[in-house]
Amino acid sequence: MTEKFTGSFTQQEPIPQAGIDAALAVMNHGRLHRYNTQGDEIAETALLEEEFAAATGSKYCLAVASGGYAMTTALRACGVGHGDTVLTNAFTLAPVPGAIAAVGATPIYVGVTEDLVIDLDDLADKITQSKVLLLSHMRGHICDMEALMALCDNAGVTVIEDCAHTMGATWNGTPSGRWGKFGCYSTQTYKHMNSGEGGLLISDDAEGMARAIMLSGSYMLFERHRAAPPVETFKQIKYETPNISGRMDNLRAAILRPQLADLQTQCDRWNALYREVETGLTETPGLHVPPRPEKEGYVASSFQFLLLDWPSEAVQDVIARCLARGVELKWFGGAEPTGFTSRYDSWRYAPSERMPDSDRILAGIIDMRLPLTFTTEDCTLIARIIRAEVSAVYQAQVA
C-alpha cells in the first residue's frame, strides 16, 4: 500500500497558555496602545523590547508592526532614500526588495550559491555599486559572516540583516542580527515566534535606533522605551525625523513574551525535525541537501533541497507526485510567482539583469515548511515519500 502523509503544512501550535493569559489581561484592561499606561505600569511592548535585547545581546530594541516595516525603518535610519541603490540577495522573498522599493531605492541583486547563501564572489564584484547591503538569511541559511563583514567593512558598506528566518540562530556563536548595524526580525505566523504579524529591530547604534524609534511613531514619548538610547540622543533627531507609524501593540507583545522565554526549546524542536528529514534524504540519487557549516548554529523551521540541472517538467512531476501523497513542496524555479515563492525577475518594479549562475540554482530549489505540529515520526514518513518520488522520477530520466 502506498504511504500518505495526512498532516497540515500550515497548522501552527496554539499560543502558549501564558501568552493567552497575558493577552486576556491586556484585553481586560483595554490599554492596547504601547504608550497607554497607568501609574508606574510598564507596557508589554516595552518589556518585550527589553527582553529581546537581552536575549540577543543587543543594546537597543524596537518592536514594530511587521518584519517588512523593520527593514524599511532600518533602511531609512541608515539614510537610504529615493535614487539610492541597495545590494541584496537574488534568493529571498518579496518583502526584502519590497522594503528597498518602499524607500524609493533600487535593489542590486547578488547571486546565490549551491549552499543557498549569498555568493561572496559576486558580492565582491558588485560591492562598489552601493553603500548598503540588506542581507537576507534566506530560509535560515547563514553565510560566512566573518568573510562578509570583512568585505563590507573594507568597502565602507553598511550591513542590515534580514533575520526573519534566523531568530535564535548564530554564526560562530554570535546571534544573527548582531553582525550588521541593524538586525530585523519577523513574528509573522510562520516564523519562530507567532503574533500573526509583527517585527523586532535591534542595534547597538544609538543614533540609528533613535531615528528608528522616531520613525516608528513614538511622538515625543521615546522616554517610555526601556531598550532605547539615552534621551539626549533624541535632542536633534526628534525635530528632523518623520513619523511613519508602525508600532507594535501591547496585545501582540503580550502573546510574544512567553514565546521568547521558550525560544531555545522551540528551536531545538525545529532542529530535531530538520535532522530527521535530512537523515531520510541522505544520498538520494539526483537530490542535493545543502550542508550546514560547523560555525552555523542554525534554526530550521523549514527544509530545502535542490534538484540541480533537472528539466522543469521533471521537477514539477516530483512536486505533483509528492502532493498526491500529502507532502506539500514549493518550488522557487517557476516562471510565474506562486504563493510566497517568486524569483528576482518576478519583481518587475525593480529591474534586473539576468544572472545565469543563480538562475540554475533557483531552478532547482525545493522548499518545505516544518511546523512544530509535526513529530519526528511525521518527518521520517515525509522524507521517505520525497525520497521515493524523487528516485522514481530520477530513474525515469536516466532510463
pLDDT reading at 334 higher than 90: no
pLDDT reading at 396 higher than 80: yes
pLDDT band for 179, please (50, 70, 90 cuts).
very high
Query: What average pLDDT does the structure give for the chain?
Result: 96
**From CA 134, how far away is CA 101, in angstroms rounded?**
12
pLDDT band for 353, please (50, 70, 90 cuts).
confident
Q: What is the pTM of this model?
A: 0.97
Which range is least confidently modeled, 200-214, 217-231, 301-315, 336-350? Answer: 336-350
Q: pLDDT tens for residues 80-89?
A: 999 999 999 9
pLDDT band for 301, please (50, 70, 90 cuts).
very high
Give the pLDDT of residue 335. 80
Q: pLDDT tens for residues 241-278?
A: 999 999 999 999 999 999 999 999 999 999 999 999 99
pLDDT reading at 399 higher than 80: no
Give the pLDDT of residue 280. 98
Instruction: Taking residues 145-160, report their average pLDDT.
Output: 98
Give the pLDDT of residue 350. 85
Q: pLDDT tens for residues 5-48?
A: 999 999 999 999 999 999 999 999 999 999 999 999 999 999 99
| AA identity, residue 349 | Y
Give 352 or 152, the one with higher predicted confidence. Answer: 152
Q: pLDDT tens for residues 89-139?
A: 999 999 999 999 999 999 999 999 999 999 999 999 999 999 999 999 999
> Residue 273 region, left (φ>0) first, then alpha (ψ -120 to 50), else beta?
alpha
Q: What domains lie within the chain, and their CATH numbers?
A: 17-261 (3.40.640.10), 263-398 (3.90.1150.10)
Instruction: Taking residues 144-170, report their average pLDDT.
Output: 98
pLDDT band for 1, please (50, 70, 90 cuts).
low
pLDDT reading at 230 higher than 70: yes
Instruction: Taking residues 340-351, report their average pLDDT.
Output: 87
pLDDT band for 156, please (50, 70, 90 cuts).
very high
Give the pLDDT of residue 15. 97
Output the 3-class SS for the chain.
CCCCCCCCCCCCCCCCHHHHHHHHHHHHHCCCCCCCCCCCCCCHHHHHHHHHHHHHCCCEEEEECCHHHHHHHHHHHCCCCCCCEEEEECCCCCHHHHHHHHCCCEEEEECECCCCCECHHHHHHHHHHCCEEEEECHHHCCCCHHHHHHHHHHHCCEEEEECCCCCCCEECCEECCCCCCEEEEECCCCCCCCCCCCEEEEECCHHHHHHHHHHHCCCCCHHHCCCCCCHHHHHHHHHHCCCCCCECCHHHHHHHHHHHHCHHHHHHHHHHHHHHHHHHHCCCCCCECCCCCCCEECCCCEEEEECCCCCHHHHHHHHHHHHHCCCCCEECCCCCCECCECCHHHCCCCCCCCCHHHHHHHCCEEEEECCCCCCHHHHHHHHHHHHHHHHHHHHHHHC
